[in-house]
Amino acid sequence: MSLKYDKGTEKSKNWLITETQFQPEALGKVEAVFSLGNGYMGLRSTTEERYANEARGNFVAGTFNKFLGDKEVTELPNAADMTEMIFTLNGDTFQLTDGDILDFDRTLNLKDAELSRHIHWRSPSGSEYKLIFTRFVSLDNKHIIAQKVAITPLSSDLTLTLRSGINGQMTNTGTQHFKEGVLRLYDQKIMKLEAHTTESNIDFVHFSQHAFKKENINFTPKNTIFMDRRKIFTAFEPGIIKKNETVTIEKVSGVYTSRDKDWIDVDTALANFTSTSDYDTLFQAHRNAWESQVWEQYPIQIEGVDFDQLAIRFAIYHLTGMTPVHDNRMNISAKGLSGEGYKGHAFWDTEIFVLPFFTTSNPKIARQLLEYRSLSIPGAVRKAIDNNYEGAMFPWESAWLEDGEVTPVWGAADIITGEPTKIWSGFIEQHITADIAFAVWQYYQFTGDQDFMEKHGYELLFATAVFWQSRLEEKGNRYEITGVVGPDEYKEHVDNNAFTNYMAHWNLEKAIHYHDLLQEKNPELLASLSAKWDLPNNYQKWQEKAAKLYLPQPNTELVIPQDDTYLSKKIIDLAPYKEASQVGALFLDYNLDQVNDMQITKQADVMILLYLLENEFSPEVKQANWDYYEPKTLHDSSLSRATHSILASDLGDKDLAYSMFEKASRIDLGPNMKSSDAGIHAASIGGIWQVVVNGFGGVRMLDGKLYLHPHLPEKWTALQFPIYWKGSRLEIKVTQESTTITNTSDNAVALALNGTEISILANTTFTTN
Ligand code: IFM
């Protein structure tokens, strides 16, 4: 394992993640974990030079395209690569797999989101060089990628050549999403590559330009332009660089697309690109943007364990990079913008795992993400109609607003039959509809954003409830939901998955509540929504069906059956699979049909119900279900451990909560060098924040009231974080001895602290001692 977390000292302490050894067999991990992003695009951290096992990737949010054929689903295309640079040093092509690496480190600085590589390399022909590479994806100008390379020959003069440009021959593991466009060089300087997605007809334009300095003096090297299919590059010949002199090359690139809200045409994009400046000036603006937009906004501090401080910063770093804050027609992909995994699609990961961070810490962004769901109601209605239901049936995986369902139908190989396994989630993993309604309500309770509710929120609550009433099946004198996949995706076609039934019930109850409220407070709005969603008729059905919806109750051992048959299934010894380093090790021995017949749970299922609807269950029920289900849970989804950690905190088991947190925070940062290849785990990263703030910090919203009940891990001496409650920013500091809350707003804030109701006056600080 070559990632180090303790290289930062003084001002850089707990900000740096460093790869100390070049590992060509584990490139994917660092490409994803060190990926750079600004919500507009995400750049995998492949190197300037190319390697056999690399997966180069640059993903521009919301630019989905579908390749021909029924087997393909729309996905986020891999845009042209603008980062490749091939250096030839005295006739040797720079490649770390050749020659000798005398010194190496690659570091991601979370604070200013800059990636750097320092290398001392001896070429195959025996010359030594110092090379320093730096790059960033600008948070200040969302279109820009900037790179800088400084090369110093250490043992002799250097004759250098560089081939660098824009390569549109990228694919998504073989699928080419772009039609060839115009290639052009402007003013002997700016390379341009245009491309158009094959089906969605999005125009992309990429630009790159280079600047050279020798010992800090600008110069223009001899250069020759080359064009090829979907590729434009320049061969630069900077002449001789004397021993111990440094040549610096800056490459600034930009990507613009017709999806941009301010898109006009290619010429305007060129004018924008031309007005950008040099690396250092761009970097200053980028670094200031990280400081003001990110670290001042979310100054979370953990004292006591350095790695934990770094891990929460890592989470915030990626939460920033993955979120398209510039456009409410886009959402967060399960892998952020850091890889091809899950095709750039949004799942319940957004609402249940990531959104609480934004709802609590930056409500404006949370609103925008929920607006995406509101704008995609037409796709959800289509899905409902296709399945003979009513209302808005949200897709399990979603991309374009109008698409409806985009989950692929076929997945990994079945170890027994040798055929691909069918992915049922797109058909029957239906809880996402209630999860979205839950997130709407959570946002509303935290923010009190009435404008959002009137424009989007009430409609989302009603449209989802219309779906549920049409989905429920009458069985005797009750209603059931049969044939679903719950959060535990190792159980398919189950009846009455507890999580799904309870969340559907919750959704119906909330729709009834807000219908009643609007009737009294805003009958005009209710009338307009009534016409659209046939509310008089639906309201009656909500009442009748919610009252009779079967909610699996705790049995005599207080265990809530995960579904109708789970508790009667076979139990096997899971120890070998729990200890396996590889996720999904179970499927080397069994296929999904066999696993379906065993009491094996992939990820938090009943447990997440106990977290989301926590005040519906007693501590005894929570404990009994933890004791029953956790030993049967493989945590094969990255979504699982964070939920378990929070519940363990609630149950008062600090050690267990902390050990679950330790594992959750190492899903991307930990020693497994393969698990992040397809991209970082967005939900797990959102989950880490929830463990820190909701679990250890003890922040909860229950029935519209704010609660704070911290459970600081023994190893931590202090935890500080901000939250917003109804527009007021509270800055909270928890130590082993006390809790201090500063209300930075002009309004008093009421909350329950450790079970006691308090009110903190405007601009005052409350402390427990
Ligand atoms: O949404 C999750 C799901 O719960 C488990 N499989 C992966 C999905 C995307 O992260």
pLDDT digits (tens, 9 = 90+) for 673-691: 888 999 999 999 999 999 9
What is the model's pLDDT at position 71? 84
Please work out whether the CB of residue 334 comes within 6 Å of at least one atom of ligand 1.
yes
Q: How confident is the model at residue 607 (pLDDT cuts 50, 70, 90)?
A: very high
- Using DSSP's 3-state secondary structure scheme, residue 656 falls into helix
Q: Of 668, 670, 680, 669, which is closest to residue 341 (Cα–Cα)?
A: 680
What is the model's pLDDT at position 769? 79
Please work out whether the CB of residue 639 comes within 6 Å of at least one atom of ligand 1.
yes
What is the model's pLDDT at position 674? 87
Q: Which atom of ligand 1 is nearest to the CA of 396?
A: 1
Average pLDDT of the chain is 97
* DSSP 8-state code for residue 18: E
Q: Which residues are catalytic?
A: 489
Q: How far is CA 491 from CA 424, 517, 588, 760, in A?
A: 10, 39, 17, 47
**CA 327 to ligand 1 center in whole angstroms:** 24
**CA 637 to ligand 1 center in whole angstroms:** 7
- The answer to whether 339 touches 680, Cβ cutoff 8 Å, is yes
**CA 346 to ligand 1 center in whole angstroms:** 10
Q: Any idea which residue has 């609402």 for tokens?
A: 351
What is the model's pLDDT at position 1? 55
pLDDT tens-digit readout, 533-587: 999 999 999 999 999 999 999 999 999 999 999 999 999 999 999 988 888 899 9
- Tally of CB atoms within 10 A around 610: 26
Q: How confident is the model at residue 287 (pLDDT cuts 50, 70, 90)?
A: very high
Ligand 1: residue whose CA is nearest its atom 5: 637
- Angle (nearest 5°) at CA 111 between 105 and 117: 20
* Helix H or strand E segment including 106: strand 100-109
Q: Which atom of ligand 1 is nearest to the CA of 342?
A: 9
Dihedral in degrees, nearest 10, Cα atoms 85, 88, 89, 93: 100
What does the longest C-alpha to C-alpha distance in the chain come to?
Answer: 89
Please work out whether the CB of residue 354 comes within 6 Å of at least one atom of ligand 1.
no
Please work out whether the CB of residue 637 comes within 6 Å of at least one atom of ligand 1.
yes
Q: Of 545, 394, 518, 400, which is closest to residue 460 (Cα–Cα)?
A: 394
Write down the CATH number for the domain with range 34-295. 2.70.98.40
- Tally of CB atoms within 10 A around 759: 10
**CA 97 to ligand 1 center in whole angstroms:** 36
- The answer to whether 676 touches 29, Cβ cutoff 8 Å, is yes
Query: What is the spatial distance between Cα 645 and Cα 357, in angstroms, rounded to a whole number?
Result: 16
- Rounded mean pLDDT, 152-175: 97
Please work out whether the CB of residue 683 comes within 6 Å of at least one atom of ligand 1.
yes
Query: What is the spatial distance between Cα 612 and Cα 650, in angstroms, rounded to a whole number?
Result: 12
Domain range list for the chain: 34-295, 697-769
**CA 334 to ligand 1 center in whole angstroms:** 7
Ligand 1: residue whose CA is nearest its atom 7: 637
pLDDT tens-digit readout, 611-636: 999 999 999 999 999 999 999 999 99
Q: Which atom of ligand 1 is nearest to the CA of 637?
A: 5
Query: What is the spatial distance between Cα 446 and Cα 724, in angstroms, rounded to a whole number?
Result: 7
Q: Of 130, 136, 38, which is closest to residue 87 (Cα–Cα)?
A: 130
Query: What is the spatial distance between Cα 494 and Cα 482, in angstroms, rounded to a whole number?
Result: 6
What is the model's pLDDT at position 69? 84
What is the model's pLDDT at position 30? 96
- CA of residue 550 relative to chain centroid, distance: 34
Q: Of 58, 51, 85, 91, which is closest to residue 250 (Cα–Cα)?
A: 85
Whether the pLDDT of residue 333 is over 90: the answer is yes
Q: Which atom of ligand 1 is nearest to the CA of 682?
A: 10
Considering the entire predicted model, what is its pTM? 0.98
Please work out whether the CB of residue 348 comes within 6 Å of at least one atom of ligand 1.
yes
What superfamily would CATH give domain 697-769?
A: Maltose phosphorylase, domain 3 (2.60.420.10)
Tokens of 757: 């109701």
- The answer to whether 673 touches 23, Cβ cutoff 8 Å, is yes
pLDDT tens-digit readout, 519-529: 999 999 999 99
pLDDT tens-digit readout, 43-92: 999 999 999 999 999 999 999 999 988 889 999 999 999 999 999 999 99
* Cβ-proximal residues to 487 (8 Å cutoff; 6+ apart), any chain: 431, 499, 603, 604, 605, 608, 639
Ligand 1: residue whose CA is nearest its atom 9: 334
What is the model's pLDDT at position 698? 98
Please work out whether the CB of residue 489 comes within 6 Å of at least one atom of ligand 1.
yes
Q: How confident is the model at residue 510 (pLDDT cuts 50, 70, 90)?
A: very high
Please work out whether the CB of residue 390 comes within 6 Å of at least one atom of ligand 1.
no
Query: What is the spatial distance between Cα 275 and Cα 270, in angstroms, rounded to a whole number?
Result: 9
Q: Any idea which residue has 């069906």 for tokens?
A: 545
- Using DSSP's 3-state secondary structure scheme, residue 39 falls into coil
Over its C-alpha atoms, the chain yields an Rg (Å, rounded) of 27
Please work out whether the CB of residue 349 comes within 6 Å of at least one atom of ligand 1.
yes
Ligand 1: residue whose CA is nearest its atom 4: 487
Q: How confident is the model at residue 646 (pLDDT cuts 50, 70, 90)?
A: very high
Q: Which atom of ligand 1 is nearest to the CA of 487?
A: 4
What is the model's pLDDT at position 676? 95
The pLDDT > 70 percentage for the chain reads: 100
Per this entry, what is the length of the chain?
Answer: 769
* Cβ-proximal residues to 361 (8 Å cutoff; 6+ apart), any chain: 297, 298, 722, 723, 724
What is the model's pLDDT at position 579? 87
Query: What is the spatial distance between Cα 753 and Cα 442, in angstroms, rounded to a whole number?
Result: 19
Please work out whether the CB of residue 342 comes within 6 Å of at least one atom of ligand 1.
yes
Which residues are paired to 742 by β-bridges?
A: 731, 765
pLDDT tens-digit readout, 715-769: 999 999 999 999 999 999 999 999 999 999 999 999 999 999 999 999 999 999 7
Whether the pLDDT of residue 19 is over 90: the answer is yes
Which of 637, 638, 667 has most ligand 1 atoms within 8 Å of CB, for mutation?
A: 637
- CA of residue 368 relative to chain centroid, distance: 15
Residues flagged as binding site = 348-349, 602-603
Which of 349, 431, 499, 635 has most ligand 1 atoms within 8 Å of CB, for mutation?
A: 349
Dihedrals phi, psi of 657, to nearest 5 degrees: -60, -40
- Using DSSP's 3-state secondary structure scheme, residue 447 falls into helix
- The answer to whether 225 touches 232, Cβ cutoff 8 Å, is yes
Burial class (CB in 10 A: 0-12, 13-18, 19+), 118: middle
Tokens of 420: 């691909």
**CA 348 to ligand 1 center in whole angstroms:** 8
- Rounded mean pLDDT, 527-532: 97
- Using DSSP's 3-state secondary structure scheme, residue 387 falls into coil
Residues flagged as binding site for substrate = 348-349, 602-603
Whether the pLDDT of residue 2 is over 80: the answer is no
Q: Of 263, 78, 240, which is closest to residue 175 (Cα–Cα)?
A: 78
Please work out whether the CB of residue 396 comes within 6 Å of at least one atom of ligand 1.
no
* Cβ-proximal residues to 345 (8 Å cutoff; 6+ apart), any chain: 75, 333, 334, 397, 398, 399, 406, 407
Which residues are paired to 192 by β-bridges?
A: 184, 207
Q: Which atom of ligand 1 is nearest to the CA of 349?
A: 1
Tokens of 603: 């990820």
What's 481-515 look like in SS3? Answer: CCCECCCCCCCCCECCCHHHHHHHHHHHHHHHHHH
Query: What is the spatial distance between Cα 588 and Cα 553, in angstroms, rounded to a whole number?
Result: 35
- The answer to whether 454 touches 531, Cβ cutoff 8 Å, is no
